Structures are given as C-alpha cells and as structure tokens.
C-alpha cells in the first residue's frame, strides 16, 4: 500500500469545472500543501506520490481543455486556473493556511512561474524542465510535430484538437499570450520566495542553455539542479526517482516547522 491516499476533487475556474485529485499523507492534518501543474498535455501526478510520501498534501488537476476538465486550452486561462487551484487547495480542511508550494513541469513550469509572479500566496516554486520562453516556444517548429503526435496517439487528451479551425486558434492564442506571460520576464518577481529549477542534461525538448538563461534572470534565493541522464519525460526509473527525491527534499527544506 502506498503511504498516501487519493481523493477526487473539483473546483471552478472561469465558470468551468476542473477535476483533479488530492494526494493525502497518513494522519489527520492539516498538512503543508503543494499544487502540481501539468504540462502539454502531460497528465501530471508525476511528483505527487513522492511529495505525499514526504508528508505534503498535493493537489493535481487537469487544466481547462484537458481530459476530465471542461473548457479549451489557453495560457492565460491556465494562469487563472493555477490561481484558483491554490485557492481550492488552501480552502481544504486538510491544508495548512500559512504555507503553499507550487510545482510545475514543462509548460506547467512556465505556468508555475507566471502564476506565482502574480500570486503572493505562493510560498515557493519548483519548476522542472520549464518552458522558459513561452513566446519562442509558441513560434517554434516543435509545435506542429507535437500536435500531429497528439492527433495520432491521444486526440482526446486535449479538447478541440480535432477541429482544424480551433486548433489554429489555440496556436494563435499561444503566440498572443506568450507575448504577455513569459517566464523570462516573470521569474525575477518570485523573489524573495525560494525558487528551484530542475533540469536534465539529456533533455532534448528544453535545452539547458535556455534553462540557464532563465535561472540567471531569477533572483535569490534560488537553486539550479541538473540531473544527470534525465530526459524530458524522465523515462529512466532510477533517474526519475533521483529527480523526485531532490524535489521532495527541497520542499521539505522550505516548509514551516
């Protein structure tokens, strides 16, 4: 049996229903809490088991436009969703009210940075392999192959993807919102709250040079961890365990006594 339990939950954002799960440690709580933000279109829950095992209450959920949740994807909406997710997490009777961390991976890492820059309730931020420049990403040649792969392998993961006109609209929105909400411009606003940026030296999706540029723009306190052998999806189980062990250890250092 895992040292945690999962409880289904839902909340609203922009008038639409978002669905997710609480990962609940043993005991009665209240627990220090972490909100986990998924990538495009990753299902999240990647760090939640490790964090719940380390004593954190973790909220994972589908952003608008993904899987169980309602709506259509847009970066500006994801930032709003992240804010409302933190509200939902802090309103739970299981969470402490004085501290909340945010964890985001890939595109969710970009959302974590941009949302925390605007939400002072966030106590600390961990971004794993974050999309460091949302505007450049939206304009990059990586978008079309990713869309084609989704259409072939998992078209239901992202709402509206099979509609050509809506698909074009979502790409246009990515460019429009990437100009407004860009981690390169937002990361310095996280200080004086702690920031951890975690990346892999075998990541072909998010390059280390860009990660280092993002990290340079951040202010102290900050920490950069490069995980040897880590690709973007953390496909090696041993490397994955190492990465999430580092994440859990860092969050334990940040949480209140």
pLDDT bucket at 193, cuts 50 / 70 / 90: very high
Average pLDDT (227-245) is 97
Q: Is the pLDDT of residue 127 over 90?
A: yes
Which pLDDT belongs to residue 181? 98
Which pLDDT belongs to residue 168? 93
Which pLDDT belongs to residue 196? 98
Which pLDDT belongs to residue 143? 86
pLDDT digits (tens, 9 = 90+) for 84-115: 999 999 999 999 999 999 999 999 999 999 99
Which pLDDT belongs to residue 177? 98
Average pLDDT (12-26) is 97
Which pLDDT belongs to residue 146? 82
Q: Is the pLDDT of residue 236 over 90?
A: yes
Q: Is the pLDDT of residue 221 over 70?
A: yes
Which pLDDT belongs to residue 118? 97
pLDDT bucket at 142, cuts 50 / 70 / 90: confident
Q: What is the 3-state secondary structure (H, E, C) of the chain?
A: CCCCEEEEEEEEECCEEEEEEEEECCCCCCEEEEEEECCCCCCCCCCHHHHHHCCCEEEEECCCCECCCCCCCCHHHHHHHHHHHHHHHHHCCCEEEEEEEEEEECHHHHHHHHHHCCCCCCCEEEEECCCCCHHHHHCCCCHHHHHHHHHHHCHHHECCCCCHHHHHHHHHHHHHHHHHCCHHHHHHHHCCCCEEEEEECCCCCCCHHHHHHHHHHCCCCEEEEEECCCCCCCCCHHHHHHHHHHHHHHHHHHCCC
pTM over 0.85: yes
In order of their start, the domains of the chain are 5-133+183-254 (3.40.50.1820)
Q: Is the pLDDT of residue 218 over 90?
A: yes
More confident residue, 114 or 153: 114
pLDDT digits (tens, 9 = 90+) for 26-62: 998 999 999 999 999 887 789 999 999 999 999 999 9
Q: Is the pLDDT of residue 189 over 70?
A: yes
Q: Is the pLDDT of residue 1 over 60?
A: no
């Amino acid at each position: 049996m895992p040292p945690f339990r999962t409880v289904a939950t839902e909340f609203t954002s922009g008038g639409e229903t978002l669905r997710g799960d609480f990962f609940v440690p043993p005991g009665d709580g209240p627990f220090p809490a972490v909100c986990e933000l998924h990538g495009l279109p990753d299902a999240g829950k990647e760090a939640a088991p490790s964090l719940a095992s380390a004593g954190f209450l973790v909220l994972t959920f589908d952003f608008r436009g993904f899987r169980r949740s309602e709506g259509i994807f847009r970066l500006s909406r994801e930032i709003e969703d992240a804010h409302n997710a933190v509200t939902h997490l802090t309103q739970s009777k299981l969470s402490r009210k004085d501290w909340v961390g945010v964890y985001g991976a890939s595109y969710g890492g970009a959302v974590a940075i941009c949302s925390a820059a605007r939400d002072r309730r966030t106590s600390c931020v961990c971004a794993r392999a974050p999309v460091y420049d949302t505007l450049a990403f939206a304009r990059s040649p990586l978008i079309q192959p990713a869309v084609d792969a989704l259409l072939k392998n998992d078209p239901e993961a992202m709402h509206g993807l099979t509609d050509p006109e809506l698909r074009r609209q979502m790409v246009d929105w990515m460019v429009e919102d990437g100009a407004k909400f860009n981690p390169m411009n937002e990361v310095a606003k996280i200080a004086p709250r702690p920031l951890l940026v975690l990346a892999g030296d075998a990541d072909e999706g998010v390059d280390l040079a860009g990660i280092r540029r993002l990290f340079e723009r951040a202010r102290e306190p900050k920490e950069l961890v490069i995980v040897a052998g880590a690709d973007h999806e953390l496909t090696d189980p041993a490397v994955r365990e190492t990465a999430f062990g580092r994440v859990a250890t860092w969050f334990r250092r940040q949480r209140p006594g």
